[in-house]
Structure 1
Amino acid sequence: MMKKTTSALAIAALLGTGAATAATFQINDTTTVGVGGAFYPFYGDVNDANGDSSSFNGDASRLIFTAEKAAVNGMTASLYYQLRPQDGLGDGADGSDDNNGVSTHVAHATLSGDFGSVTYGKNDNLMYRYIDVLRDYNDTLVFTFSDAIQRRRVATYASPDFGGFGFEVEAELEADDSKTPVSDGSSSSFNAAAYADLDPVRVHATYTAGDLQDADSDGAYGLAAVTSINVVDLSAVYTNSQINADDQVITGLYASTDYGFGSLHLGAQEVDVDNAESRTEVIGRVTYDIADSVYTSLEYASKDADNDAGDGFGVALWYGF
C-alpha cells in the first residue's frame, strides 16, 4: 500500500498491517516483475448526524503490479501501480449504488542508488506516509486524519539512510486530486519529512505547506514516535494544521499486540478544531487469523460527537495474495 522507502518499510513492519504477499517473477538477469493484491470487502453500521443508525458496505480490494530493473552505475529503476474500485463498489451510507468501476489509486516510478531515490507519480504525500499512516490501521472505521494529507502527483527525493537518520523533500503538484486546487497561481506545494532511529524509539517529523489546498495556508506540521514495550507496539502522533480557516490539532496514542489467534488494537485521539467543541475519538479492533494473509476483523468506534454521530461497528475480511 505504501511506496518502498526506508521509512515506509519500517512503519509497515511496526504496524503489522497485513500487507499482501505478491508473486515475483524473474524476467531476465536485470528485470523482476510482481503481481499481488487483496480481496477486501467490509460492512459497517454507524450513527448519522441525527443519531440514527445507518449501514454501509463496500469493497476496497486492490490489484498491485510492480517492476524492478537494474540500471546503469549500480542504480535501480522500479515501478509501482495499484488499482482499486472507485467509491468502494458498494452501497454508501446514503443507500446509493457507488459501483463506478476501478481507478488508479497509486502509480509511481522510482530511480534509486547510492544517492538515495527520486520518485515521480501519483502517491500519498509525506504527511500521510510519515504521520497519518500510523493511525490508518483499521479496516472499516477510521479516525479523523489531518487535513494536510492528500493523494496527488508528487515528485520526491529520499535521502539514503545515514545510520538511522534520513529525510525526504517533495513537490506536490496540481492535478490528480479529489479536491479542486486553489486559483492563486500556485502550481506546486512543498513538503518535507525526516526520521531518526533513537533506539528504542523511532521519531518522525513532517512539514506540509498546503499551498494547493488554500491560498492563505500557513502550513501544517506533524510529529510521531513509535516504540515497543514488551509485546505491545505503541505510537504517539501530533498534527497541527493551519491550512484551512479553522485550525486543526490532533493528538493521539495507539497500541497493538498479538494474542495468539490474531491481533488487538486500541487507539484514542483528541481532535480540536477552531469553532467546534473538542472531542475524543476511540476505536477498538480485534482480528482473527483464518490463514496466512487471511483474517477477519471486528471494530467499534466512539467519536464523542453530537447525537453520537459516528459511533458504531464494522466488520471486514482481508484475503491477501
Structure 2
Amino acid sequence: MSSAVDILGNIMKRLFSKLALVASVAAASTAQAETFEVSDKTTLSLFGAIELKYNTADEISDTDGSTESSSAYEDNGSSVGFGAVHRFDNGMSGYAEIEFEHNANDSSDGGEVLTDKAFAGLIGDFGEVRAGRFDSIYTNAFYDLVDPFETASLSEESVMEEDNLIAYFSPDFNGFTFELQARVIGDGDNVNESGSNETGMAGVVKYSADTWAVHAGVDDRGAEGEEVNGEWVSQDPVYGLGVAVALTETVDAAARMSIQENLEGSAEGDDTTFYGASLNYNYGMGSVYGAMQQVDPDQGEDRTEFAAGINYDVVENLVVYSEYGSYDPADDAVGDIDTQFEVGAIYEF
C-alpha cells in the first residue's frame, strides 16, 4: 500500500491536473519504481514496498457491547511488482503490470504470495483501454477521497470485485473526463454460481478546474450476484457524488456521498447511505490527515466513524506513520472493531 502522502498526492493529481496519458503508463504503482530502458521503444520497471506495523484493536466481544483488546506486530501489505511499456510507431503505447503481495513478517516455508494486480492496456490519443485485475474506478473516484489511511480506513460501500475487468479512460475534454468499466463473468468461470453469463457495468464522469473537482458515477454491480432462497440474485446499484478542493497550497479537503441499494430482505433496509469528508495538511516533511463518515442504513442504527493520522518522511522512500480509528459499531456486532491504534513504517523501492 502506498504511503498516505502518496495516496493524497495521487488523488489531488488526478483531480486537479489534466490527464497525462503517457505519463500515467510510464509510472507504475509507485513513484519509486526503478526503470530500465531495454530499447528505444521498450521500458521495464521494478517496484515494491516493505510495510510493517504494530496494531492494537478493541473488538466487540459480546452482544452487550463489551470489548476485548488485542495487539499484533504484522505485515501491512508488502509487495513487489513489475511493469513494461512499449511505444509503437503510430504514437500509441502498450503496457502491462503485475503486482504481488507477500507477508514480510512470515517466516514459514509456506508463506503465501498473492496476485494483487495484473493488467495490460493500450494508450493513445483516443484515451486508454485496460483489461485484467486492477482498482475499481468507482472506488478511486469516491471512496479514495476520504481514505488517506494505511490501516485506519473507514467503512466502504460494496462495489464490483476487482477482477475480470475491462475499462476505458477517456482523454481530457477541457476539464471533462469519463471512465467506463465492465466486469464479465462467463458461465465457465469458477466464481459464477448462476450458470449463466453475468456482466456488471460502472461509469464515472469527472470535471476538474484549477483548484477543485467534482465526480459523479454509478456501479450497477451486475456481476456481483449471490444465492438468496435458492435463486441467483444480482446486487443492486451504488451511486456516488464526490468533490475535492485545494483550500490552500498545503491544505486539501474532500467530501463524498454514496447510496448503496441493498438486496431485498437486507437487515439494513432498502439502502445504506455513506456521507464522508476528509482533510489533509502537508507540513513539509509529511502530512496530518483525518476523515469522518456517517453511515446511515434505512433500517437499524446509524454510526459515526472517525480516523486521523500523521506521517513523516524519515529519508527518501522511507515513511513512518501513526493512526487512530473509531468505528462506532452496534453493540451486538460481535467481532467488529470498535477502536484501533497503530504505528508503522513503509519502505518503497
Any conservation in 2 of the 1:128–1:149 contact (CA below 8 Å)? no
Aligned-pair CA distance for 1:174: 2.6
Residue in structure 1 matched with residue 75 of structure 2 by the alignment: 58
Percentage identity across paired residues of the two chains: 28
Distance 2:48 2:347 in 1: 9
Distance 2:161 2:285 in 1: 35
**2:117 equivalent to 1:101:** no
Relative distance call for 1:216 and 1:35 in structure 2 (3 A) is closer
Written as runs of structure 1 = structure 2, the 5 A alignment for 1:1-321 is 11=11, 13=13, 19-50=30-61, 51-56=67-72, 57-85=74-102, 100-174=111-185, 181=192, 183=194, 185-214=196-225, 215-230=233-248, 231-244=250-263, 245=266, 246=268, 247-306=271-330, 309-321=337-349
Aligned-pair CA distance for 1:165: 0.8
4+ long deviations beyond 4 Å: 88-91, 179-182
Any conservation in 2 of the 1:89–1:101 contact (CA below 8 Å)? no
Question: 1:52 aligns to what SS in structure 2?
Answer: strand
Aligned-pair CA distance for 1:66: 1.1
Distance 1:54 1:153 in 2: 37
Residue in structure 2 matched with residue 94 of structure 1 by the alignment: none
Distance 1:190 1:14 in 2: 22
The number of equivalent residue pairs is 304
Counterpart amino acid of residue 165 in structure 2? V
Relative distance call for 1:130 and 1:27 in structure 2 (3 A) is same
Distance 1:127 1:268 in 2: 19
Any conservation in 2 of the 1:181–1:213 contact (CA below 8 Å)? no
Distance 1:68 1:190 in 2: 28
Counterpart amino acid of residue 279 in structure 1? R
Distance 2:162 2:55 in 1: 25
Relative distance call for 1:9 and 1:165 in structure 2 (3 A) is farther
Relative distance call for 1:249 and 1:186 in structure 2 (3 A) is farther
Question: 1:13 aligns to what SS in structure 2?
Answer: helix
Any conservation in 1 of the 2:185–2:191 contact (CA below 8 Å)? no
- Cα deviations by residue, 1:119-176 (Å, 9 ceiling, x for unpaired): 111112221121122233211222101112532120111111112111111111238x
Any conservation in 1 of the 2:30–2:47 contact (CA below 8 Å)? no
Question: 1:288 aligns to what SS in structure 2?
Answer: strand
Distance 1:268 1:115 in 2: 38
Relative distance call for 1:240 and 1:89 in structure 2 (3 A) is farther
Counterpart amino acid of residue 307 in structure 2? I
Any conservation in 1 of the 2:160–2:221 contact (CA below 8 Å)? no
State the TM-score, normalizing by the size of structure 2.
Answer: 0.79
Distance 1:309 1:36 in 2: 32
Aligned-pair CA distance for 1:46: 1.1
- Can you give the 5+ residue segments of structure 1 that lack an aligned partner in the other structure? 3-7, 92-96
Question: 1:169 aligns to what SS in structure 2?
Answer: strand
Distance 1:9 1:290 in 2: 18
Relative distance call for 1:243 and 1:277 in structure 2 (3 A) is closer
Aligned-pair CA distance for 1:184: 6.8
Counterpart amino acid of residue 52 in structure 1? E
Any conservation in 1 of the 2:43–2:85 contact (CA below 8 Å)? yes
Q: CA RMSD in A?
A: 2.7
Any conservation in 2 of the 1:89–1:100 contact (CA below 8 Å)? no
Distance 2:324 2:301 in 1: 22
Any conservation in 2 of the 1:254–1:267 contact (CA below 8 Å)? yes
